[in-house]
Amino acid sequence: MNRKQRLIAMALALLLPSLALAELDGPINKPFIKSVGAWIFVGEDDRQEGSNYWNSNSSYQSLIQNNVYEAVDVLCIGLINTVQVNATTWPSTTHGGSGWTLHFTGAGHDAGGQVPGAPTMPPGGYTNQTYFEQIIQDARAANPHIRITVGSMYAPGDVFSRIFADPANPQESEARSFAENVAEFCLQHQINGYDIDFEEPLATNTSAEQFNLIMSELGTAFREKYDLAYGRNLWLLMTPAVSNVSVQLNSNSSNIINANLYAMNLQMYNGEYQQTLYWDTLGVNSNLYGYTGSWEVPADSEGNYNPPTPEAVLKDNASSNSQQIMMWRLNSGPPALWQLEQSYQKQLYAATFPQSGDVDGDTDVDSNDLSALHATLGICQEDVNHDGDIDIDDLLLLIESWGESCTP
């Protein structure tokens, strides 16, 4: 490889993540080129450590301190509820809103107490909605290119059917009102879209008629609510798990999915490896398929956690031939697990988008990479002139350069 070829290779290695992210801004139904994302579940915090979001030892602060957000192209924050519009929601009754919308319900994040500089903790603790809004702020500050979505609740089973006054006789106008409110919610919070966690009991308690109306109206509302801040349409996504349940969808459902969905990130864990067959048979366009794996695993008999390695995830994803990887999740359970999840996320991203000079695979280029290179080549760091010996020649070369700037 000559000098020109090396420069081109280095340029492509540096530009690849940016090019892939540019493709994430495409129109509805344009397949992903490549991306790596993850979920966060705001219904849980670090109670075992006596921490809330703003404590320095929390999983949320670790995401910032350890540059984990930089290893996330798409961040899905879940699980968001479907609620009637009220004074605390968006849209709100205060602004003339009505019908149903999205809102993070639940509170109780009271561990760790008040942290200086953090929002004042209300009676009963911080709410999930507060966590959601803070994550958006912190994730965007750490990674301006990150794309953020919200993931739906999958339980109870009436997450969708409840928006209809008579679930057995759903009306298009009810679905349209909900869809427009969801679009307004996304735009108000400056997020990129809505991801439907389509599994039991939501998947088994939503009729084809209800599903088709909601998905069709969401697609229409998302196309009409063009977000000038990002110069693209809002995303409508699904993350299904339906291998072992009875789903009520029909052939019209696949037409609506193909016309309105940006991506379908299939949950490929916990026995869900056969669900591709269901969606293929239904008639869903396989170009929409993405891959969802899981870092979260139960402890073994000795109390250790052994999630799939990044290498195993990449190998598994290669068999599914999908272009988007989403991982559940970055803040599971005790520190022993979420620390591993966050470390693996960075390794997965580095392996997917190798950076020129990132020898140790930690997503940045620094002195640690030089040490790793020395170790790989069998060169001692003290061997300044790289002749295989540590001797007076190395000392003289170091003295000769003493005090000089390393900056060219």
Domain residue ranges of the chain, discontinuous segments joined by +: 26-358
Ranking 212-221, 266-275, 313-322, 383-392 by mean pLDDT, the lowest is 383-392
Q: What is the mean pLDDT of residues 229-238?
A: 76
Q: What is the mean pLDDT of the chain?
A: 85
Please compute the mean of the pLDDT values over residues 191-202 and round it to a whole number.
Answer: 96
Average pLDDT of the segment spanning 307-333: 90
What residue type is 365 in one-letter code? Answer: V
In this predicted structure, what is the pLDDT of residue 17? Answer: 46
3-class SS of residue 263: strand
**Residue in the structure block whose two tokens are 């559940």:** 328
Residue 135 has pLDDT above 60, yes or no: yes
Mean pLDDT, residues 401-407 taken together: 66
Tens digit of each residue's pLDDT (9 = 90 or more) over 88-122: 999 999 878 889 999 999 878 988 889 998 999 99
Query: In one letter, which amino acid is 124?
Result: G
> CA 163 to CA 151: how far, in whole Å?
17
Q: Name the burial class of residue 249, with classes exposed (0-12), middle (13-18) and buried (19+) by CB atoms within 10 angstroms of its CB.
A: buried
Q: Which amino acid is at 360?
A: D
Burial string for 65-102 (b: 16+ CB within 10 Å, else e) reads ebebbbbbbbbbbbbbebbebeeebbbbeeeebebbbb
Reference 189, options 233, 152, 238, 229; nearest CA is: 229
pLDDT band at 182 (very low <50, low <70, confident <90, very high): very high
In whole angstroms, give the CA distance from residue 194 to residue 47: 28
Instruction: State the pLDDT confidence band at 408, using cuts at 50, 70 and 90.
Output: low
Contact between 234 and 220 under an 8 Å Cβ cutoff? The reply is no
Residue 226's alpha-carbon distances to 32, 217, 234, 360, in angstroms, are 20, 15, 7, 41
For residue 358, the Cα-to-chain-centroid distance in whole angstroms is: 23
Give the pLDDT confidence score for residue 42 in this predicted structure: 94
Q: pLDDT grade, residue 378 (50/70/90)?
A: low
Check residue 4 and give its pLDDT.
Answer: 45
What pLDDT is stored for residue 227 in this prediction?
Answer: 54
Is the CATH code 3.60.70.12 the one for domain 26-358?
Answer: no
Reported as a pLDDT band with limits 50, 70 and 90, residue 232 is low
Q: Residue 111's pLDDT is what?
A: 87
Q: Are 359 and 376 in contact (CB under 8 A)?
A: yes
- For 172, phi then psi, to 5°, come to -60, -35
Beta bridge partners of 227: 232
Helix (H) or strand (E) segment spanning residue 313: helix 310-320
Q: Are 355 and 67 in contact (CB under 8 A)?
A: no
The pLDDT score that the predictor gives to residue 359 is 58
